[in-house]
Structure 1
Amino acid sequence: MAEVVLYRIDERLIHGQVMTAWLGTVGAENIAIIDDILSKDSFMQNIFKMAVPQEISVDILSVNDAIDVLKKQSFKKRTIVLMKTIKTATRLIDAGVKIDSINLGGIGAAAGRKPFYKNVFASPEEVEMLKKLVNKGINVYYQVVPEQSAVSIKKILEDKGV
């Protein structure tokens, strides 16, 4: 049984920053991607698995499967958990998965989303989800790479008067 060393929300999932910065910094040996659509797409799963160094394993799970795995803490290696959306993180926590902190990476512009902070765009619903996560005592923070200082989402929400 190994620990989750980083929970990260980033629409891009596996990309250069995860590979070059976060993996080494947190000493992860496994990446778990939690995404209902990707968990059913074997072609895209293969592409994501090819994007990581050979010594890093990749698990791709639906949200429901991830809830079971995370509650049982059954990863066999030190794991980074990647999610595309704030909604996925909210679903995990609402289902009873214990998460102390969440790293917020990039979330792109889309219909209904407005600039939130740097390269994070969020809909009013997503801002409410962030607020609920913070109010539950979860340390949600923006930090693109480990060398960058973490910025508290609680502080950003307060500064915005949300």
Structure 2
Amino acid sequence: MANPNILCTRIDNRLIHGQVGVTWVNHLGANLIIVANDKVAEDEVQQNLMDMVVSDAVQTRYFTVQKTIDIIFKASPRQKIFLVVKDIHDALRLKEGGVPIDYVNVGNMHFEEGKRQISSTVSVDEADIQACKRLNELGVELDVRRVPNERGQNLMDLI
């Protein structure tokens, strides 16, 4: 079975918003956004709000992380997938579950109690750092970048 046509995987704790639903989708040429997150997969209100940001030409799917792992290889080659996750831990679960992710765009990991800010949009705690290191060991490039035309930074250089 062929690998799914995943154009980009992005970590953004806001999931789909203007930057993701318009700027990144247009830059990538994606026609499908898959949000892989256990809570959002069960929250139709949040899904409907996110769908309002996306063009009618782009489909959206909201799956749990496990369902994404289970079905990603059933994707059609015509599906140009933009995979969006809420945090580094969902990205790691996908990679360890066999989803072919070699590159992750780290867009937003908001600051909260117990985290330290390492860039204008990324804050991490020790658990996040361990997940980053594990993804790095698995050969995943972690690129901190808010928007496509911004120069990225290797997350491993920042932690």
Shared fold (TM-score, shorter chain, > 0.5): yes
In the alignment, what sits opposite 1:57? Answer: 59
Structure 1 residues 50 and 20, CA gap change in structure 2 (3 angstroms): closer
Question: What is the deviation of 1:116?
Answer: 2.1
Amino acid at match of 1:89: A
Q: Which residue of 2 aligns with 1:74?
A: 75
Maintained 8 Å contact 1:107/1:121: yes
Q: What's the CA shift string for 1:33-85, capped at 9, x where partnerless? A: 01101111112211111221111110000011000122x15155211000001
Correspondence for 1:97: 99
Q: Contact between 2:69 and 2:97, CA under 8 Å: does it hold in 1?
A: yes
2:124 counterpart residue number: 122
- Shift of residue 6 of structure 1? 0.7
Q: Which residue of 2 aligns with 1:39?
A: 41
Structure 1 unaligned runs (5+)? 158-162
1:143 aligns with 2:145: yes
Equivalent residue, structure 1, for 2:114:
112
| Aligned counterpart, 1:160 | none
Measure how far apart 1:91 and its partner are.
Answer: 0.7
Percent sequence identity over aligned pairs: 26
Runs of 4+ in 1 over 4 A off after TM superposition: none
- Partners in 1 of 2:74 and 2:106 — Cα distance? 22
| Residue 134 of structure 1, aligned match among 133, 136, 139 | 136
RMSD (Å), alpha carbons: 1.6
Encode CA deviations 1:76-117: one digit per residue, 9 max, x unaligned: 521100000100011111112221100000111112211122
Structure 2: state its 5+ residue gaps. none
Aligned length: 156
SS in structure 2 opposite 1:105?
strand
